Chains A and B, each alone.
Chain A
Amino acid sequence: MRFRFVVPLLASLALLAACREQKVTSYRVPREQPEPLPPILTGEVPSPAAGMAAMAGTPVTTATGAGLTWSAPAAWTAKPASAMRKGSYAVTSEGGAEADLSITAFPGDVGGELANLNRWRGQIQLPPLAEADLPAVTTRLSVNGLEFVVVDFDNPQAEKPQRILGASAAYDGATWFFKLMGPEAVVAQAKPAFLDFLKTVRAPAPAAQP
């Protein structure tokens, strides 16, 4: 073989490639002010059942990039979106009671459909479901190319009765959650509007190519 040294040469280079490593460093700097933990984690504010929504001050990974768009009914009052929320509305009943509509998005499937629905159930003190229970409690809705899973959870026995009307859909590698949560009467009254609202949710049109 004419160039028999080439194989050992390449093998030694492969070993060299595997040897690139980073090292632990230690150094001394003047005292720096640490970033505070979110109050919800330090116990300075009580942890409400709202769960994730209560972590509004926590820097949590949310999905970024081009998002879904929607048209909310005029009767809903838009609240400022936060680092956590893509959209936020106050839904008020005729009697003045208020429910909260949150629109959030997180990368991946966030633990899967069952885990996500059980998280919502936990927020209104309902026991978790088993995988086999899913078909009975979910409604599938196909809207503008998006596949929504819609649920309606109610717990009248809870200390503070609450109802969750929720929908989730996968879009662009993230899961989008639309959750209306509040007193049973308010959510029941807003249900038709919520379902109509879901029909307005759509993915943005692809950008025009130059």
Chain B
Amino acid sequence: MNDTVRQFRDFFVSLKLTVVLLALSLVLVFAATLDQVNLGVWAVQEKYFRSIFVLWPVGDIPVPVFPGGYLIGGFLLVNLVAAHLYRFQFTWRKTGIQLAHFGLILLLVGELLTGLWQEDYQMRLTEGESKNYSESYRRNELAIIETTDPKIDDVVAIPEALLARGDAIQQPPLPFRVVVKAYYPNAVLQLRSGTPGAAPSPATQGVGPKLVAIPVPLTYKQDEQNWPVAFVELVGAEGPIGTWLVSAQLAASQTVAYAGRTWRIGLRAERAYKPFALTLLKTRHDVYLGTDIPKNFSSRVRLTTPDGREDREVLIYMNNPLRYAGLTFYQYQMDSEHATSVLQVVRNPSWLIPYVSCALISFGLLFQFALHLAGFVTKRRGRAQTA
């Protein structure tokens, strides 16, 4: 075995590494808990736990300052597996310990897979409305939708993260480039007529010239939303076509006409299309008699597929979600006054792993304790008989 391989092995099977990683994870959890006051739960998860490094912005450059959850968890996983492979000796007396450790490995893998695969979207429906897509809670996209064909929408969706970077984007089949002139992650829109003295708008087309975008600080509160605004210039082969103000508050409602074709343009919540549709038939909001305390929320929906194989009614209510095509639809919010229901749409292929790993850990520990107890009792009996 050469020197480098031995170094790798010694590093990853070391118990000292386990202790250092556990200490680092303690610090990480502590720092993340404190930062939750500033960032809220979701942003803290992304920054501290679902990252390889915790990044700290120095000027415009994010600098890694501490190992993130993926790095610590990943190293712990490798450490655990390597130590087992290196020291593994199967004996009945250690079966429980091995099983408990295997459960722990599975738990770490499960969390990694959840972080990588889980999708968390929402579907907002008003009674009678059908949708075949869900929308992201936090991420937005610039949608440029060709509407030249009266029956079809050809959509090009540019993630907000790319707008924030400010790169020029050329994406077939668009016959023009998208150049981001300005981007505000959160801004308030006001009518220009009511804002005298505001700086001239970079927008030349659509409703942009009538509006003023005032940047406001990002909000991380659970019950608030950021409304990004961008000024995007479309540049064709002959030169600039115009600059549009796009905002998640205006949806994809402004039109672009170029070279005999037409598009709609706008920022909207990022969409995930499904091969089936849900139609909201009826919402129900029951309260305890004589009070305003909610007793039950439920949504009766109709699930249909274009090929007609599925066409059935489903009742979704608290603790009784609809599971279909790898997705789970939970009853999330309800506005019974406007007959509107919001379903939380979750895809988590690894949802069973934590249950299995907890069962393995429990069984392993029970087995180990039982083995020790049996040994102890046998030894005691033996001593009593000799006495």
Give A residues with C-beta under 8 Å from B: 2-6, 13-14, 16-17, 21-32, 34-37, 40-42, 47, 49-52, 54-55, 58-61, 63-65, 106-111, 115, 118-119, 121-123, 128, 173
Does B150 sit at the interface, judged by CB under 8 A? yes
Give B residues with C-beta under 8 Å from A: 4, 7-8, 10-11, 51-53, 55, 64, 68, 71, 132, 147, 150-159, 161-162, 169, 171-173, 186, 188-191, 193-198, 207, 210-211, 214, 216-217, 219, 221, 223-225, 227, 249-254, 264, 273
Known contacts A34-B264, A36-B253, A107-B224: does B153 contact A28 (CB below 8 Å)? yes
Q: Are A115 and B195 in contact (CB under 8 A)?
A: yes
Count of A-B residue pairs with CB < 8 Å: 162
| Additional A-B contact list (10), CB under 8 Å, known A40-B191, A115-B198, A173-B219 | A14-B64, A25-B157, A26-B155, A28-B153, A37-B250, A37-B253, A60-B188, A65-B223, A107-B224, A110-B188
- How far is B140's CA from A178's CA once the two chains are assembled, in angstroms? 33
Q: Are A173 and B251 in contact (CB under 8 A)?
A: no
Q: What are 9 inter-chain pairs, A to B, with CB distance below 8 A?
A: A4-B7, A14-B64, A23-B159, A29-B132, A29-B273, A37-B253, A107-B216, A121-B196, A122-B195
* Chain B minimum-CB-distance residue to A32: B153
Q: Are B173 and A64 in contact (CB under 8 A)?
A: no
Q: Which residues of A contact B68 (CB under 8 A)?
A: 17
**B306 nearest CB across to chain A (Å):** 9
Q: Which residues of A contact B214 (CB under 8 A)?
A: 108, 110-111, 115
Q: Which 4 A-B pairs have the closest CB atoms?
A: A51-B194, A108-B216, A122-B196, A17-B52
Q: Which residues of B contact A37 (CB under 8 A)?
A: 207, 250, 253-254
- How far is B190's CA from A123's CA once the two chains are assembled, in angstroms? 13
- How far is B130's CA from A30's CA once the two chains are assembled, in angstroms? 13
Q: Are A14 and B53 in contact (CB under 8 A)?
A: yes
Give the residue of A2, A16, A28, A41 whose beta carbon is less than 8 angstroms from that of B207. A41
**A147 nearest CB across to chain B (Å):** 19
* Chain B minimum-CB-distance residue to A21: B161
- How far is B211's CA from A117's CA once the two chains are assembled, in angstroms? 18
- How far is B268's CA from A34's CA once the two chains are assembled, in angstroms? 11
Q: Are A6 and B11 in contact (CB under 8 A)?
A: yes
Known contacts A31-B150, A41-B211, A61-B188: does B161 contact A22 (CB below 8 Å)? yes
**B345 nearest CB across to chain A (Å):** 17
Give the residue of B210, B216, B264 whose beta carbon is less than 8 angstroms from that of A41. B210
Q: Which residues of A contact B217 (CB under 8 A)?
A: 107-108, 173
Q: Which residues of B contact A14 (CB under 8 A)?
A: 52-53, 64
Q: Which residues of A contact B71 (CB under 8 A)?
A: 13
Known contacts A2-B7, A17-B53, A21-B161: does B152 contact A26 (CB below 8 Å)? no
**A132 nearest CB across to chain B (Å):** 15
Q: Which residues of B contact A5 (CB under 8 A)?
A: 4, 7-8, 11
Q: Are B147 and A31 in contact (CB under 8 A)?
A: yes
